[in-house]
Amino acid sequence: MVASIALPRLMRIGAGASRLLPEILGQLGLSRPFVVTDPYLVSSGRTDTLLERLASAGARGTIFSETVPDPTVASVEAALAALKAGDFDCVVGFGGGSPMDTAKAVAVLARHGGHMRDYKAPRLQDEPGLPIVAIPTTAGTGSEATRFTIVTDETSDEKMLCIGLAYLPVAALVDYELTLTKPKRLSADTGIDALTHAIEAYVSRKSNLFSDGLALQAMRLIAPNLRRVWTDPSDRAAREAMMLGATQAGIAFSNASVALVHGMSRPIGAHFHVAHGLSNAMLLPVVTAFSAPAAVARYAACARAM
């Protein structure tokens, strides 16, 4: 079997990695970023800091912060209108899964046109859109390293999965210091999401030796540190482990697959508006009980890793 692997071209991982955005944009020959973020990151002053850093490096950034949790077609169209009103050469997704997924969607729509529904799987969108740089502020989605985005069609309550290399960020800045202020509830939900990515990538029929190594390492990092970040949000070592684990789990499932938990989690989230990690948490025990007999050795390896 030949494994097909796709990764961000540049990654910076560790404390302060997000401060390297101007340098990374320079390496990529980019200077006019459209920064997609959320209202919390604006109110916390983090976006001002980011813009100041860009300006001091001669880059001109513009902030779009009207993203919503679980991005909708309407919220993506609002972002697209703002992008089209300016002159940008790349999109930066700065935030949790929702800003990053919105950034991915507008990067493709801006270059290829059409409507979000046109891009729904099984369509494969490999032809690149605008370059995407991802800066996650949660340890969960792994979206900074995946070739997926998910947008909800609010008219039908459908979470549309969109797949292709066009959604894979060209660069990812993985800075655990951005997660130190994450509320407990968000730490729990996003952490379970990351753990589920790792387990599902490992038990997937599409797993391969490359994804296996990252999935197991992600489980080793996430399992002992999830409760630690919930108990003490300022535990830097645990935050660092969670962030690295979430990114590794993202790479693992982007190059293998997720499985039944995510397949069922999407419709539950769309219909009942349950946080993605929480619906994963509800499903993981029952899906594991259902699936384990068909892949005993694989689930046993997960248990040993955790």
Least separation in angstroms between residue 187's CB and Fe ion is 15
Task: In whole angstroms, give the CA distance from residue 55 to residue 31.
Answer: 10
Which of 173, 183, 190, 194 shows the shortest CA–CA distance to 234? 183
Which range, of 3-11, 186-194, 224-232, 233-241, touches Fe ion by CB under 5 A?
Answer: 186-194
Q: Residue 45 gets which letter from DSSP?
A: T
Least separation in angstroms between residue 276's CB and Fe ion is 6
Which C-beta is closer to Fe ion: that of 200 or that of 240?
Answer: 200
Which residues are registered as beta bridge partners of 148?
A: 163
Applying CB under 5 A, which of residues 189, 193, 200, 212 lies at the interface with Fe ion?
A: 193
Which C-beta is closer to Fe ion: that of 65 or that of 187?
Answer: 187
Closest chain position to Fe ion (CB): 193
Question: Cis peptide before 122, with omega less than 30 degrees from 0?
Answer: yes
Least separation in angstroms between residue 246's CB and Fe ion is 10
Binding-residue total with Fe ion (CB under 5 A): 1
**H or E stretch including 104?**
helix 97-112
Backbone angles phi, psi at 70, to 5 degrees: 50, 80
Residue 261 contacts residue 196 (beta carbons within 8 Å):
yes
Which of 192, 177, 203, 165 shows the shortest CA–CA distance to 274? 192
Which range, of 59-67, 150-158, 188-196, 283-291, touches Fe ion by CB under 5 A?
Answer: 188-196
101 binds Fe ion (CB under 5 A): no
Least separation in angstroms between residue 262's CB and Fe ion is 6
Least separation in angstroms between residue 235's CB and Fe ion is 23
Chain positions contacting Fe ion, by CB under 5 A? 193
